[in-house]
Amino acid sequence: MVMSVAERPVRSDDVSELRARLRGELLGPGDAGYEPARALWNGAIDTHPGAIARCQGSADVLAAVRYARDAGLLVAVRGGGHNVAGTASCDHGLVLDLSPMKGAQVDPAGRTVWAQPGLLWGELDHETHAFGLATTGGIVTHTGIAGLTLGGGIGWLMRKHGLTSDNLLAVDLVTADGQLVRASAREHPELFWGIRGGGGNFGVVTAFQYRLHEVGPTVLAGSILFPADDGGELLRFYRDFAEAAPDELATVLNLRYAPPLPIIPEYLHGVPVVSVVVCWAGPIEEGLRVLEPLRRHGRPLLDLIAPKPYLAHQGTFDATVPHGLHYYWRSEYLGALDDQAIGTLVEREPLAPLVHDHLPPRRRRRARPRRGGRLHRPHRRLRGERQRRRAPRGRRGAGCLGPRPRPGAASAVRRRLHELPGRRGPGPRPRRLRTGQVPAPG
């Protein structure tokens, strides 16, 4: 939402006025706590807000949004601060920091939970899994629930239960004109459609209601490392294996250097590998049978797949993406992981491409359309309607993240991926916040 007000930086009189209106802290440059409050997960983002409002509840959000609207301040919204593009902050403007808002109320009988936007996924999982319940929620526990949900939300449960946004039932949201509304399929349905993939800058979500599912408490999960030299053959096997697997199995394939983690033998540290990480969220005995072909294939260097608590597996990638590093990545959607795409990926190893198996074509053939061309199972939509247009059903995502690639490697892979048949264009570039916009939390 764009408002016709003149953008200006925060001034000292704004800080004084806002402090009088808020229950939470208002931090400015030079205040104790300002430096850690402005720091984001991505250390490459080094913005200096004019003020940071550490909101304690909806009343603080209402007061801050109304003041920013009337004063013409640039606004950014921070949930967990994990957005790689840095949209959770801005220079000289007002940051609405929702991280102090960490309430959660689980309804075990109704299998739902109301959660505030400052929660991280590890914190929300802790609350819901006390009742043997969970929803699709990221693959790194220190990711904020707000940004991930409003961005679509991948996770280990997505093939069985859909993306995070597919499990969103309702939100409480402060609009850019300073009104608190509830949006759901029945109340403000167009707004609810918008926040589930229709765009951004609709307002500030102060509470999320999610659908929960029985999970675990034990899942069959872990990673298998294969030699990078076997990458081409292994990716072809993985493509067919993942396509035929039941919905209970989620996988992530990663071409990378083996990280120096305690669970990996030292002699493998820094060795180029193909890592296949799996999570089977069904009966353990059945999972052992389903995963046997993968575990027996080729020349595995290390097999770490074992029964473990779902909460433990959620933290699998935490140590590989610590706070403060300088992160950058891009992503593409491929019509299929065909031989040409595989050749491109392994040719530029070790750029560290990640392949997320979203919804294989097998699911597409089995699904039956209903009126309007939509499918019976809601999780077949990738990141809501917006992503439905950008990435046809059945596509896989390929993204690249550290370690630092060789010079020119990233552009070479991007150029080759653009040449692949059936490829759709990249997603929208990160954009600067415009005058008066209230963005989705980062």
The CATH number for 39's domain is 3.30.43.10
Within a domain: residue 182?
yes
For residue 390, what pLDDT band results from cuts at 50, 70 and 90? very low
Residue 45's CB: how many other CB atoms inside 10 A?
20
CA–CA separation, 430 and 393 (whole Å): 24
- Whether residue 237 sits in one domain with residue 203: no
- Whether residue 299 sits in one domain with residue 400: yes
Tens digit of each residue's pLDDT (9 = 90 or more) over 320-332: 899 999 998 888 7
pLDDT: which is higher, 330 or 418: 330
Q: Give kind and range of the element (H or E) at residue 124.
A: helix 121-129
Q: Which of 22-36, 338-352, 356-370 has the highest mean pLDDT?
A: 22-36
The amino acid at residue 163 is: L
The label of the residue with tokens 């102090």 reads 100
Contact 79, 147 (CB under 8 A): yes
Contact 391, 434 (CB under 8 A): no
Which 8-state DSSP code applies to residue 150? H
Within a domain: residue 67?
yes
Residue 433 to residues 2, 350, 370: CA-CA distances in angstroms? 10, 35, 38
Among 38-42, 211-215, 266-270, 428-432, the minimum mean pLDDT is found in 428-432
Record the tokens describing residue 41, joined without a space.
């997960």
For residue 191, what pLDDT band results from cuts at 50, 70 and 90? very high
At residue 83, the pLDDT reads: 85
At residue 347, the pLDDT reads: 81
- Whether residue 252 sits in one domain with residue 338: yes
- What is the Cα 368 distance to its own chain's centre? 28
Q: Averaged over 407-433, what is the pLDDT?
A: 43
Within a domain: residue 89?
yes
CA–CA separation, 167 and 149 (whole Å): 9
Of 162, 192, 214, the one marking the end of a domain is 214
- Whether residue 283 sits in one domain with residue 315: yes
At residue 110, the pLDDT reads: 97
- Domain extent for 165: 104-214
Within a domain: residue 381?
no
Contact 60, 23 (CB under 8 A): yes
Q: Give kind and range of the element (H or E) at residue 158.
A: helix 158-161
Of 181, 214, 247, the one marking the end of a domain is 214
- Whether residue 264 sits in one domain with residue 162: no
- Whether residue 88 sits in one domain with residue 129: no
Tens digit of each residue's pLDDT (9 = 90 or more) over 240-261: 999 999 999 999 999 989 989 8
Within a domain: residue 3?
no
Of 79, 97, 115, the one marking the end of a domain is 97
CA–CA separation, 345 and 23 (whole Å): 51
Which 8-state DSSP code applies to residue 100? T
- Whether residue 109 sits in one domain with residue 173: yes
- Whether residue 185 sits in one domain with residue 84: no
Within a domain: residue 353?
yes
What is the residue-averaged pLDDT of the chain?
A: 82
Within a domain: residue 270?
yes
Q: Is 409 left (phi over 0), alpha (psi -120 to 50) or beta?
A: alpha
Strand pairing report for 112-115 and 203-211: antiparallel
Among 100-104, 397-401, 404-408, the minimum mean pLDDT is found in 397-401
pLDDT: which is higher, 374 or 66: 66
Q: Give kind and range of the element (H or E) at residue 391.
A: none
Q: How many domains does the chain have?
A: 3
Within a domain: residue 436?
no
pLDDT: which is higher, 9 or 427: 9
- Whether residue 272 sits in one domain with residue 402: yes
- Whether residue 266 sits in one domain with residue 253: yes
The Cα diameter of the chain in Å comes to: 67
CA–CA separation, 265 and 255 (whole Å): 18
Contact 126, 42 (CB under 8 A): no
- Whether residue 180 sits in one domain with residue 241: no
Residue 420's CB: how many other CB atoms inside 10 A?
15
Q: Averaged over 178-192, what is the pLDDT?
A: 96
CA–CA separation, 164 and 203 (whole Å): 19
Q: Averaged over 162-173, what is the pLDDT?
A: 96
pLDDT: which is higher, 177 or 372: 177
At residue 413, the pLDDT reads: 43
The predicted model scores a pTM of: 0.81
For residue 334, what pLDDT band results from cuts at 50, 70 and 90? confident
Name 367's Cβ contacts closer than 8 Å, sequence gap at least 6: 375, 376, 377, 380, 393
Residues 47-81, buried b or exposed e (16+ Cβ, 10 A)?
bebbbbbbbbbbbbbbbbbbbbbebebbbbbbbbb
Q: Averaged over 363-371, what is the pLDDT?
A: 35
- Whether residue 199 sits in one domain with residue 223: no
Domain with residue 312: its CATH number is 3.40.462.20
Record the tokens describing residue 279, joined without a space.
């999570």
Interhelix angle 339-347/231-244, rounded to 10 degrees, is 140
CA–CA separation, 403 and 296 (whole Å): 29
